[in-house]
């Protein structure tokens, strides 16, 4: 069994494409079949190598590995040419010299009359030998096919016209190339976005005309933006790689995407293995879905909380490099991640949190500082400095005990000491459990930062 993902390289791999790729990939994996990647680059005006690279990068990051390919349609022009010639020879296709102007006028007229805008067959029997090549679509009857997600679809041949299969420069067009490729590559399942539903009957006629067996079709609903409009740049990040940059784990994105349009009862979290095991095209929804960043964020946090720690280390590495955070000197990154993982929605947030363990800062967040570093706090900070300077066993337990001691001696609640201490340690006030954080930051840096806080307080005193 074989299925394929066939993007056209006219931009990066976007969310919708990634979801299609995922479903196709899952279906292939589930059947223990082959997943083929084919680049549909017949439109040479718009196709770029940069886009091909971007698509490949996106798929690699998501872990959607392909068993065959990438095949490029531009490498197969001879084959398409032969098929087109064959169709002409068998009188199943013909040349047409109608000008774009004539065609446009025709469309306008038909539309004005309230009729279907389609080619009128002007050149059908002229026996021309140049121009575009059109496929002779059957005039009667209808095309019926059973779509794995949409069910039975029935289209009258009257609605279809003689579509162009070769441009006037001889290059083949999409509807011809897909059919030839899917046949030659022995694709059993054509799974793609439902914007292709309307092309399917035309393609079926091509298959039939060529005497080829039909693949099974499955048309996936589109992904819309939060406003219900087709997902586009104005909805924010649509490129898959932008999600890596924003600190998402690939498995979180995959999990989000698989649940957008597919479900298995009430289950929300799926490992990739579970997806493969449970995925069914018949459980794919017919209706389009809206992309919802909040839910993705929630899933990302779930994955950050539960992921294998080494995996997290590996994934975080890219962000650490990106932000030039050197973790080779200082506490074990594993411990730092464990201290941070429950409070990070993204790896970018986590990277921010990591900084305080490896980098010194020279100022406190002004808003927090003005609130926390009051003159009344001075004796508390001084007491902490005194006791910590003496502390031999720099462990979270001891650190915690001392905070408690100071609170008792000064007759204040834990928060009165804990809050300023947290701000002194982090500079921002955003940090986890202070004892654990202080242990990881280390004695030297903790004392330095407490002294910095003390300075701050004595300065506002003046």
* Residue 198 binding RNA, by CB under 7 A: yes
Residues 70-89 that bind RNA (CB under 7 A): none
Contacts of 351 (CB under 8 A, 6+ apart): 247, 316, 319, 320, 322, 323, 325
Q: Among residues 107, 122, 335, 374, which is the contact residue for RNA, using CB under 7 A? A: 107
298 binds RNA per the rule CB under 7 A = yes
Q: Does 251 bind RNA (CB under 7 A)?
A: no
Closest CB to RNA among residues 25, 181: 181
- Give the pair of three-digit tokens for residue 149: 């997600």
Q: Which of 118, 183, 335, 374 binds RNA (CB under 7 A)?
A: 118
Query: Which residues ranging from 305 to 324 are in contact with RNA (CB under 7 A)?
Result: 305
Nearest approach, Cβ of residue 451 and RNA (Å) = 20
Pick between residue 31 and residue 263 the one whose CB is nearest to RNA: 263
342 binds RNA (CB under 7 A): yes
**209 vs 430, beta carbon nearer RNA:** 430
Under a CB-based contact definition with an 8 Å cutoff, are residues 184 and 114 in contact? no
Query: Residue 1 or residue 309: which is nearer to RNA going by CB?
Result: 309
Interactions with RNA, residue window 343-382 (CB under 7 A): 343
**158/164 Cα distance (integer angstroms):** 17
3-class secondary structure, 428: coil
Distance CA 172, CA 102 (A): 22
Identify the sign of the CA torsion 369, 372, 376, 378. Answer: negative
The two structure tokens encoding residue 130? 């140049």
Contact string (CB under 7 A) for RNA, positions 16-55, x = contact: ------------------------x-xx--x---------
Q: Does 211 participate in binding RNA (rule CB under 7 A)?
A: no
**CA dist., res. 66 & res. 59, Å (int):** 9
Interactions with RNA, residue window 422-461 (CB under 7 A):
422, 429-435
Of 354, 364, 346, nearest in space to 323 by CA: 354
- Compute the least distance from the CB of residue 382 to RNA, in Å: 19
Selection from 310, 306, 319, 308 nearest residue 349 by Cα: 319
- Quick check: 229 binds RNA (CB under 7 A)? yes
End-to-end CA distance of the chain: 79
> Nearer to RNA by C-beta: 123 or 240?
123
Size of the site for RNA (CB under 7 A): 85
Of the candidates 411, 401, 407, 439, the one whose C-alpha atom is nearest the C-alpha of residue 420 is 407
Q: Pick between residue 28 and residue 258 the one whose CB is nearest to RNA.
A: 258
Output the CA torsion 392→398→400→402 (10° steps). Answer: -60
Region from 85-93, 159-167, 235-243, 451-459 binding RNA, contact rule CB under 7 A? 159-167
Pick from 99, 127, 328, 459 the residue near RNA by CB under 7 A. 99
């Amino acid at each position: 069994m074989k299925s394929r993902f066939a993007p056209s390289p006219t931009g990066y791999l976007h969310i919708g494409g990634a979801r299609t790729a995922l479903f196709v990939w899952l279906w292939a994996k589930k059947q223990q079949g082959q997943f083929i990647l084919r680049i549909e680059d017949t439109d040479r005006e718009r196709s770029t190598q940069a886009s091909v690279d971007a698509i490949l990068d996106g798929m690699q990051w998501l872990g959607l590995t392909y068993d065959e390919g990438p095949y490029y349609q531009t490498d197969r022009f001879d084959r398409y040419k032969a098929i087109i010639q064959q169709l002409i020879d068998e009188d199943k296709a013909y040349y047409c010299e109608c000008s774009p102007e004539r065609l446009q006028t025709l469309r306008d007229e038909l539309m004005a009359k309230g009729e279907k805008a389609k080619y009128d067959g002007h050149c059908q029997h002229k026996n021309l030998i140049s121009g575009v090549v059109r496929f002779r679509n059957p005039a009667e009857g209808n095309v019926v096919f059973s779509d794995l997600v949409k069910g039975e679809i029935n289209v009258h041949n009257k609605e279809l016209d003689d579509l162009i299969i070769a441009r006037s420069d001889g290059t083949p067009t999409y509807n011809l190339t897909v059919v030839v490729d899917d046949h030659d590559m022995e694709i059993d399942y054509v799974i793609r976005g439902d914007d292709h539903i309307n092309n399917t009957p035309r393609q079926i006629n091509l298959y039939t005309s060529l005497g080829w067996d039909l693949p099974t079709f499955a048309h996936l609903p589109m992904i819309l933006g939060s406003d219900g409009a087709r997902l586009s740049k104005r909805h924010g990040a649509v490129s898959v790689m932008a999600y890596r940059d924003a600190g998402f784990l690939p498995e979180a994105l995959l999990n989000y995407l698989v649940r957008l349009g597919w479900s298995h009862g009430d289950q929300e979290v799926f490992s990739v293995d579970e997806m493969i095991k449970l995925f069914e095209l018949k459980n794919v929804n017919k209706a389009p879905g809206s992309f919802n960043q909040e839910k993705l964020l929630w899933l990302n946090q779930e994955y950050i909380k539960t992921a294998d720690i080494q995996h997290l280390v590996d994934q975080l590495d890219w962000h650490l490099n990106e932000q030039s955070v050197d973790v080779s000197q200082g506490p074990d990154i594993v411990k730092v991640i464990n201290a941070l993982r429950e409070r990070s929605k993204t790896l970018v947030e986590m990277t921010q949190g990591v900084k305080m363990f490896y980098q010194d800062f020279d100022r406190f967040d002004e808003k927090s500082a003005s609130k926390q570093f009051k003159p009344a706090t001075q004796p508390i900070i001084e007491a902490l400095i005194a006791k910590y300077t003496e502390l031999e066993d720099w462990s979270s337990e001891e650190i915690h005990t001392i905070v408690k001691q100071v609170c008792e001696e000064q007759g204040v609640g834990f928060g009165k000491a804990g809050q300023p201490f947290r701000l002194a340690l982090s500079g921002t006030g955003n940090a986890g459990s202070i004892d654990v954080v202080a242990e990881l930051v280390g004695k030297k840096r903790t004392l330095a930062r407490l002294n910095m806080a003390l300075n701050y307080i004595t300065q506002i005193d003046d």
